[in-house]
Amino acid sequence: MKKKLLTYSKLFFSFYLIYVRIKYKYFLKKKSYSQFSEDIVIKEIFGNFVGKYVDIGCFHPIKYSNTALLHKNGWTGTNIDLNQKSIDLFNACRPNDLNLVACLSDRIETIDVYMNSEFSALNSIYLENFENFGIKNYKIKKVETKLFKDLVQDNFDYLNIDCEGSDYKILKSINLKHYTPKVINIEVHQKNKNYIYNYLNVNGYKIFKIQTLSHIFIKV
């Protein structure tokens, strides 16, 4: 029975991939794809400029995506997520992007990743993410972390980070003297706010706008 359920699950996801790819390519056109309209703010900053993005913790090419609007306007880039199914979706919808399965950190080490499912926005290295939502059923997966510089070599114009608590750890691993994105959008919580602001301010970024949890910085 378990094997049959796994087969049905894989078959369903295969159909879902086809559905999302067709919807994204031929039919879907929205004013905003972001959860809090961050993409509208970002598009206004860049105007008609067409550049490159890096989306860390990309999760889904459509739902709550801060890069879908840019991609629809000709942008390309790199999408990184620790969920294989997320990257499968990006490969289906954005085959010309570089789509990578990776758990980024500030050092290479083997860590525990807590997973609600193979396709969950809550999957994280922090168990408290599940505890905050009252989720008791989860799996633990051993993963070797990777460094940003080993995955992304070329410069880019827009950086998006949404990694369920790992945001500052990933941000500080990115050398902002070597990489010089004009705009950085990062999820900020009270516990990491001072660290994120200080790091970005020191590297020449100032806050431009706050959209709920998303804090949008621009290069001065």
CA distance 98 to 79: 6
CA distance 51 to 16: 29
- Structure confidence at residue 123 (pLDDT): 82
CA distance 43 to 47: 6
Q: Return phi, psi of residue 138, to 5°.
A: -155, 160
- Structure confidence at residue 7 (pLDDT): 52
pLDDT, average across residues 171-179:
97
Per the confidence metrics, is the pTM higher than 0.85?
Answer: yes
User: CA torsion angle for 95, 153, 170, 21 (degrees, to 10)?
Assistant: 0
- Structure confidence at residue 166 (pLDDT): 92
Q: If pLDDT is split at 50, 70 and 90, which confidence band does 218 have?
A: very high
Q: Give the CATH number of domain 30-104+151-219.
A: 3.40.50.150
> Residue 110: which of 145, 150, 151, 84 has the closest Cα?
145
Per-residue pLDDT of 14-29, as tens digits, reads 889 998 989 998 877 8
Tell me the HSE value of 219 on the side-chain side, using a 13 A CA sphere. 12
Per mean pLDDT, which of 21-30, 135-144, 198-207 is the most reliable?
198-207
Say how far residue 56 (Cα) sits from the centre of its chain.
3
Per-residue pLDDT of 80-135, as tens digits, reads 999 999 999 999 999 999 999 999 999 999 999 888 777 777 787 778 777 776 77
Q: If pLDDT is split at 50, 70 and 90, which confidence band does 5 have?
A: very low
What tokens does 58 get? 């990309």
Pairing of strands 205-211, 214-219: antiparallel
